[in-house]
Amino acid sequence: MTDRRRHNAPSRSRSRPRPITPRTHWLLLSVLVVTLSAALLLQGYTHHMFGITPDDVTGGRGRDEAVPGRVTRGGPVIADAATSAHTARVKDRTIALTFDDGPDPVWTPRILDVLRRNHVRATFFVVGTEVASHPELARRIVAEGHQIGIHTFTHPDLSRLPSWQRSLELRETQLAVAGAAGVTTGLFRPPYSSRNDALDDADWSVLKQAGAAGYVTVLSTQDAEDWQRPGADRILMNATPHGSTGQILLMHDGGGDRSQTVAALNALIPRLTSHGFRFATVGAAVGMARPVQPAGLGDHLQGMALITLLQTGDRVVWLLGVLMYAAGAISVLRAAVVLIAARRHRRLRTGPRSSSWGRPVTEPVSVIVPAYNESAGIEAAVRSLLASDHPVEIIVVDDGSTDGTADLVESLRLPGVRVIRQQNAGKPSALNTGLAAATCDLVVMVDGDTVFEPDTVRTIVQPLADPRVGAVSGNAKVVNRGGLLGRWQHIEYVVGFNLDRRLFDLAECMPTVPGAVGAFRRRALLDIGGVSDVTLAEDTDVTMALCRDGWRVVYEEGAVAWTEAPASLNALWRQRYRWCYGTLQAMWKHRGALVQRGAAGKLGRRGLTYLLLFQVLLPLLAPVVDIFALYGLVFLDPVRITGLWLAFLLLQLGMGLYAFRLDGERPGPLWSLPLQQFVYRQLMYLVVIQSLFTAVSGSRLRWQRMERYGSLQAPAGTAAPADDVPSQSPGGFPRPAPYDGLPQQVPYDGLPQQVPYDGLPQQVPYDGLPQQVPYDGLPHPAPYAPVPQPAPYGGRPPIPPHPGFRQPGPYETPLH
């Protein structure tokens, strides 16, 4: 059984809420963000800043005054470049096969197979990122007796980099080799290098820096030009030396399709062997003593850590890509579903085949206004209700206000308005107090910061002519639309909330009747035990309970109410945090609807699934979209990323234009939609993250009241206030028609008092409201006293009276 709040329950103060939300998760989230950012920066640098490209992309040769003549005319192996450079040549009839740009997972193993069959040893100049991606190939190269050299970490043109970045490229490649193969090497080949006589001053500065770091630079004397992919025969011709001079032959095992290289190598080795050439590593070919040494423990461990970090970064980027596509697919799916549903909903309600709910509802309505420190806007709210063109009794339940809210309402001396005071016990308790005091079978609940249009009450109760309908959601709109924050909330109300409600109405799975404007059958509320206080989203909780009890909940877009939205980011955070956390509580409480049948099953399998996908999962994926967008702008194609972002924005704009058209709103505020993506959107998904952490950690969030700003306008035409209480001045509240000229209501002199809520009394039969007095001779409606009750809907038998309704079974415990 849902809990009931007694009137004499201990006071639960809301004026000074104690912050009990967890703090550790923000630290964990910050650490995660920093770690993820570092991994993405490293992954972006290693995979997208540079990369393997053909050897002729660097342009022409520059000045060469700084290059020593003995180097230009010397051998291809250059040592001590930083001090007294000297070179070495390959022995006659010796071929040092060298392979650049690997290891490649496809072509390096095939080249190794060819070398093994022919009992040949070669030298592989590896790229650090490729070693990190395929460490097993680096181990195989060393294990099969080949030499290994470094070819930088990301294959940049070192001559165009600053000194610190050159050092980083060399060091990280050495660590990758040490981590993968357990060795360090002194052999180095710069990317895009060729022969000695092609060196210019920029190249020489690179060789000097490498020499100072202890590296021996290995250039080439013969280029097979396999990077051009001219065909196996052409590669074979380019690789065949003329004469008996020893050569360092440049070939490639990575950087693209090397099938021609493999085919040419199969023919080259037997041909040169038959001509008396022998094959050796670079070290053996020039007589160098052990250029490759076992790595120290520190270098090996650092190298393993680097490889792990890079591989993790690769997986993270892959996962981010998958999640980004998932977020995009979910967003497009939601847009399609919502727009199709909204169009169909519009046709069903306004098209030529639309059907009414039944005979017009003319019976009076009890309007319950729970109020806690609402002095800034309570007068405007009550006066707007008095201006209704439908008979109402207004019950203001003051929940222990400390700002004189109850005194203010009483001092207005407005006819038909009752004030009930109670100790502070929370909004659900205030609603239940009003429910117990109500004398009408139809109840409208409205927040103290909300004002109604003159026809709102009449419009919102019309769907209750259908005996299957237990509750009706109205159309809440933002009244304080000034500034970006106000516009953004206005857009969210129209595009997000109202489009969703049309879908929920069509699918018969409405999860929330907003507290700002909702109509209910009093007996339906009593049947589920009233308004529960076990969640912070009492409106969502009670709506789901009604659905599970078999009632249909619908949306009436014509019932317009104007509500005051938060005017600061801090206030907005508190409000949405409470909404989101309360919704999670309600979803968890009513999770049993997933396996139920009938109306409850529709709520579970349609409504709860929709909330989980689009109000929980999609906001959690939103940070992925932002992170990947930043990553793409820095490391990928910024034009493509910008195009995708614009496409996403156009999708939202299209939804916005259609939603504004359905709601009869001017599309002007939509100009701020692009700006909404950079502040408001991030705030909303951080709210979801915070709410989930709060829920998972088991913390109990307490009620946080929103600050009121007094931006609501008191409508004209109601009874004059007392002399000692000045009326509020208009504040720019939009009205479709003036309030004056409406009939005045006389006081409800003798409304019966109800016993406390813990024993809800049976409803007092309604015997007609007092006659209304004409206002200055203007046309006025006929007396409501003799209003006939509507006939049963569609010929169905009438619903049995409330005393015969069953009480529902207990629902699940709330999410903590």
Query: Residue 211 belongs to what H/E stretch?
Result: helix 201-212
Report, in this order, helix, strand and coil percent for the chain, each rounded to 5.
45, 10, 40
Q: How far apart are CA 96 and CA 98, in angstroms?
A: 6
Angle at 537 between CA 586 and CA 542, to 5 degrees: 70
How many other CB atoms sit within 10 Å of the CB of residue 105? 13
For residue 741, what are the CA distances in angstroms to 458, 562, 607, 712, 773?
17, 21, 43, 21, 12
- Per DSSP, helices labelled H in 275-402 are 282-286, 297-350, 378-386
Query: Which residues contact residue 58 at a Cβ distance below 8 angstroms, ignoring those fewer than 6 apart?
Result: 157, 159, 192
Burial class of residue 184 in the structure, from the number of CB atoms within 10 Å of its CB (0-12 exposed, 13-18 middle, 19+ buried): buried
d(CA 89, CA 247): 8
CB of 581 closer than 8 Å to CB of 691: yes
Lay out the sheet containing 442-445: strands in order across: 417-422, 392-399, 365-371, 442-445, 518-521, 469-478, 552-563, 450-452
805 vs 816: CA distance, rounded Å: 31
Label residue 493 exposed, middle or buried (CB < 10 Å: 0-12, 13-18, 19+): buried
What's the CA gap between 149 and 86, in Å, rounded?
A: 19
Considering only CA atoms, which of 499, 477, 622 is closest in space to residue 555? 499
> CB 315: neighbour CB atoms within 10 A?
12
Picking from 608, 472, 449, 448, the residue whose alpha carbon sits closest to that of residue 552 is 472
In the residue annotation, 758 being an active-site residue is answered as no
Name the catalytic one among 64, 100, 226, 533. 100
Catalytic residue among 25, 155, 252, 490: 252
CB 159 within 8 A of CB 184: no
Q: Is 242 a catalytic residue?
A: no
In whole angstroms, what is the distance from residue 123 CA to residue 11 CA? 82
How far is Cα 169 from Cα 165, in angstroms, rounded to an integer?
A: 6
DSSP string, 451-473: EE-TTHHHHHHGGGGSTTEEEEE
Sequence-distant (6+) residues with CB within 8 A of 497 are 476, 514
| H/E element, 408 | helix 405-412
What residues contact 754, with CB distance under 8 A and at least 6 apart?
436, 437, 760, 761
Write down the H helix ranges in 48-162: 69-72, 107-117, 128-133, 135-143
Long-range contacts of 304-312 (CB under 8 A, 24+ apart): 304/179, 305/179, 306/132, 306/172, 306/175, 306/176, 306/179, 307/131, 307/132, 307/135, 307/176, 307/179, 307/180, 309/39, 309/42, 310/42, 310/43, 310/46, 310/129, 310/132, 310/133, 311/132, 311/133, 312/39
The conformation of residue 617, written as its DSSP 8-state character, comes to: I
| Residues 556/474, Cβ–Cβ less than 8 Å | yes
Cite the active site residues. 100, 252
